[in-house]
Amino acid sequence: MTSPNAALQIDDLHKSFGGLHVIQGVNFTVAPGERRLLLGPNGAGKTTLFNLIAGDLKPTAGQIRLADEDVSDLPTFRRAARGIGRTFQILTLFSRESVIGNVIMALLGGRSQRWKPYGAVAKDPALRREALDVLARVRLDTLADRPVAETSYGEKRRLEIAMALAQAPRILLLDEPLAGLSKEERGTVSALLAELPRDLTILMIEHDMDVALAFAEKIALLHYGRLIVDGTREEVIADPRTREAYLAQ
Ligand SMILES: Nc1ncnc2c1ncn2[C@@H]1O[C@H](COP(=O)(O)OP(=O)(O)OP(=O)(O)O)[C@@H](O)[C@H]1O
Ligand SMILES: [Mg+2]
């Protein structure tokens, strides 16, 4: 059934890699503005689910709706244009470019200017200002001209979030944004995530339970490609299946 007000709705989604049935009939609805956490043990299929939502993988069966539009057959760039933004579990930055250069490329991603020579476009003061505004949201504006190769791991993680934000998504998919960060960096990233505007819907995969639980209002637990628990934070924590499948790891 279609929920008329859902930001994202997934119906009976399946994905197999050869004989490996990684996503096994997932049904899932995310309301506009919601902060939803996707939990699950290693190999449960969480990143695969993100790849299916973003369009990097084609489902074997099932449907994905973004704000009432069926996007199941759209390629990644068209889904991005309709408002799906994401970060990756493994960083995908242009490390020879500057911090601001990466954001400018992300800003250009959806615009006609991208066909002009990059060197000329990158000097455009309006574009630079816009990129600095995005960098300020992740507290990287003071490092704008530093080559990415010379930034810390935590700064690279924040830059990746900036690049996703640059495309003004309606729904943001964050794949373990805190993985590998120091305690201090985790604090910085969770604070900036908490500041993101409520018209942005966020779906986050995260293993750091303290940060994740502080962030999420609703939680879905994926186990061997099935959502075995899906509800409010309190419901999911109280459910014995959560302990069995996840916390006992
Ligand atoms: N392109 C692929 N081809 C074949 N198998 C794949 C592919 N991508 C993922 N898998 C398999 O699908 C299963 C789920 O992988 P996935 O990366 O989605 O898990 P995950 O829940 O994100 O795990 P983690 O917590 O370790 O990131 C794993 O068994 C993985 O080996
Ligand atoms: Mg993963």
Residue 7: which CATH number?
Answer: 3.40.50.300
Pair 176, 240 in one domain: yes
Q: Which residue has the tokens 């302990």?
A: 243
Name the domain boundary from 119, 151, 168.
168
Name the domain boundary from 146, 168, 190.
168
Contact residues of ligand 1, CB 6 A cut-off: 17, 20, 22, 40, 42-48, 89
Tokens for 42?
């290693």
Pair 190, 78 in one domain: yes
Total of domains in the chain: 2
Pair 79, 174 in one domain: yes
Q: Which atom of ligand 1 is nearest to the CA of 176?
A: 27
| pLDDT in the model for residue 175 | 94
| pLDDT in the model for residue 91 | 73
Q: Residues of the chain whose pLDDT is less than 70?
A: 1-4, 110-120, 247-249
Query: Which one-letter amino acid corresponds to residue 129?
Result: R
Are the C-beta atoms of 219 and 39 separated by less than 8 Å? yes
| pLDDT in the model for residue 123 | 77
CA neighbor of 103 nearest in space, from 149, 29, 46, 156: 156
Pair 248, 177 in one domain: yes
Q: Which atom of ligand 1 is nearest to the CA of 17?
A: 4
CA–centroid distance, residue 45 to ligand 1 (Å): 5
Name the domain boundary from 110, 136, 168.
168
Pair 164, 114 in one domain: yes
| pLDDT in the model for residue 4 | 63
Pair 63, 135 in one domain: no
| pLDDT in the model for residue 51 | 97
Closest Cα to atom 2, ligand 1: which residue? 17
| pLDDT in the model for residue 68 | 85
CA neighbor of 206 nearest in space, from 228, 230, 179: 179
Q: What is the CA radius of gyration of the chain?
A: 18
| pLDDT in the model for residue 87 | 86
Pair 59, 76 in one domain: yes
Pair 36, 94 in one domain: no
Ligand nearest to the backbone CA of 46: 1
Pair 101, 128 in one domain: yes
Domain that holds residue 181: 1-83+170-249
Pair 79, 179 in one domain: yes
Q: What value, to the nearest 5°, has the Cα angle with vertex 13 and ends 223 and 21?
A: 55
C-alpha distances (whole Å) from 75 to each of 133, 145, 212 are: 29, 33, 30
Pair 175, 247 in one domain: yes
Pair 189, 199 in one domain: yes
